[in-house]
Structure 1
Amino acid sequence: MADTKLFFAKGDSPEMIAAFEKAQQTFKYFWREMSWEYRRIIPALDMACVKVAFSEEVAGQEEPIVEHMWINQVGFDGINVYGELINEPNELTNISNGDEVNVPLTQISDWLFASNGKTYGGFTIHAMRAQMSDEERQEHDTAWGIDFGDFNDIEIVMNQKEQPENLEVHPMDRNTKEGMLSFLKENPGEVKTTDELGLTLLHIETIAGNLHAVEALLEMGADKNAATPDGRTALDLAKLLQWNHLIPVLEK
């Protein structure tokens, strides 16, 4: 590994701060895709991971040590992001590769998924690539094993240009209502069941922005007033994540 080339960028540069903000603002689209990936029999994603800012206070130092590292096996409850660290820290001693992670959404600094060789998200990666020469970008992409494409043209959902409506409704959600209704009729108890995080199906589908699944659940009597362990209803979560197409449905 001695000849491995590393690429760095200042974490507090305006470009990087803008990338952090964009990643947090659009994370809901990453999670929407993951919500469907976890249901697929045949995976559609080549990779999916989230970058998190970890820190550690050091005696005698005014500023904490901060490292941005990637996690996978990602989960999300609308507030907190879960996963497993897949990097070994350079300086931090309070976390190690393989540790389980639970952080607020405000602590993530990037997200990335790839399908059929095309990447989505990766805002900090593109911010770094923008500062590289063509040759450095090629070396960087080869090291990842991915062609990241144009750093000025970052997409966040599949087929975004061909089908801009995918920004509002995921293609798989368009055809899910009848299947969801059939499932709930056969398993009526699922309408009220909560998962290990205390979320109902209505919470789960709202967090993922799935309009037709939400409509099916409401038709089957899902309780709009049911609250998460920290007191949030599905409507609260829709507003928090700015799933604006769900808010009128949940306000009826």
Structure 2
Amino acid sequence: MTDKLTFFSEADNPEMIAAFHKAQETFKYFWRELSWEFRRIVPALDLACVKVAFMENVSYQAAPIVEHMWINDVEFDGYVISGTLANDPNELSNVKNGDFVEVPLNQISDWLFTSGGKTYGGFTIQVLRAGMDEEERIGHDQAWGLDFGDYNDVSVVYEQKEHPENLMEHPMSINMKDKLAAFIGEHPAELSKQDQSGYTILHREIVAGNKSSVEVLLQLGADKNIKTGKGNSALDLAKQVGWEEIIPMFEN
């Protein structure tokens, strides 16, 4: 992490505060999609970014300066979100475009990914759009180059209305079960291999919420008691991120 400090601050607008909380509650879907994007040969996402609030105390005013700005190149370990600041601030002097940023999950204010022109997330954006007239919304969407659709209807996963089961699990997790089993069969050492942060493949699949992948790994002998470098177990990660369908697999 750079020496640039990051802070979180909630606005006074109750609709915006609700949007912040909704973004935090649903961030797991953003990360699940991005985790699969990293594995795709042909990218499916046009944009994937997270909004973070930055704050700076200044001597010439009582209240700190707060700016909400987007980061990209996002990573997530179940507790901490990291990425690169994607723009220069208007007023802040303690951060700049290109800075590396690390914040806990409860310090994000929004997330957004797009595919084929359709947007997912963007809760704070929709609050702003709700306060615009139709002409302003059209201009706003044209500036982004995206169609944000109905500000009262925010999707968090692909084909959410047509396939509500996609909220429970990503289709690719189900479709890739056999290939995952075959891969582990050929490379059994991958089950216990830990990265520099102490994460195994089981830990990573849990953070991404891939139930079918987790089932395969456990069936093939993955040790659910291995802890990360920070001492977090598989169950700890499932609870922290909030994957309710995975938690019982480790509590029983």
Q: TM-score, normalised by structure 1?
A: 0.93
Which range moved further: 33-42 or 10-19?
Answer: 10-19
SS of equivalent to 2:172:
helix
Give CA-to-partner distance per residue, 1:93-120, whole Å, 9 cap, x none. Answer: 1111011111111111000001111100
Which range moved further: 227-236 or 75-84?
Answer: 227-236
SS of equivalent to 1:20:
helix
Distance 1:221 1:57 in 2: 52
Q: Does 1:11 align with 2:11?
A: yes
Q: Does 1:190 align with 2:186?
A: no
* Aligned residue number for residue 98 of structure 1: 98
Give the drift of 1:175.
1.3
* Aligned residue number for residue 77 of structure 1: 77
Identity %: 61
Q: Which amino acid in 1 is paired with 2:111?
A: W
Distance 1:144 1:196 in 2: 38
Unaligned runs of 5+ in 1: 1-9
Give the drift of 1:60.
4.9
Distance 2:12 2:72 in 1: 24
Give CA-to-partner distance per residue, 1:156-186, whole Å, 9 cap, x none. Answer: 0000000000000101011122111111111
Distance 2:163 2:109 in 1: 27
* Aligned residue number for residue 122 of structure 1: 122
Q: Which amino acid in 1 is paired with 2:103?
A: V
Give the drift of 1:58.
1.8
* Aligned residue number for residue 140 of structure 1: 140
* Aligned residue number for residue 209 of structure 2: 209
Q: Which amino acid in 2 is paired with 1:147?
A: D
SS of equivalent to 1:97:
coil
* Aligned residue number for residue 111 of structure 2: 111
SS of equivalent to 1:25:
helix
* Aligned residue number for residue 155 of structure 1: 155
SS of equivalent to 1:217:
helix
Distance 1:22 1:54 in 2: 19
Distance 2:61 2:190 in 1: 52
**Contact 1:50–1:74 at 8 Å: present in 2 too?**
yes
SS of equivalent to 1:22:
helix
SS of equivalent to 1:51:
strand
Give the drift of 1:195.
2.0
Q: TM-score, normalised by structure 2?
A: 0.93
* Aligned residue number for residue 174 of structure 1: 174
* Aligned residue number for residue 6 of structure 1: none
* Aligned residue number for residue 131 of structure 1: 131
Distance 2:250 2:171 in 1: 21
Distance 1:63 1:176 in 2: 51
* Aligned residue number for residue 7 of structure 1: none
Give the drift of 1:63.
2.4
**Contact 1:24–1:106 at 8 Å: present in 2 too?**
yes
Unaligned runs of 5+ in 2: 1-9
* Aligned residue number for residue 32 of structure 1: 32
Give the drift of 1:196.
3.1
**Contact 1:19–1:123 at 8 Å: present in 2 too?**
yes
Q: Which amino acid in 1 is paired with 2:167?
A: L
* Aligned residue number for residue 67 of structure 1: 67
SS of equivalent to 2:74:
strand
SS of equivalent to 2:40:
coil
Which consecutive segments of 4 or more residues in structure 1 shift more than 6 A? none
Distance 2:201 2:66 in 1: 36
Distance 1:201 1:35 in 2: 12
* Aligned residue number for residue 3 of structure 1: none
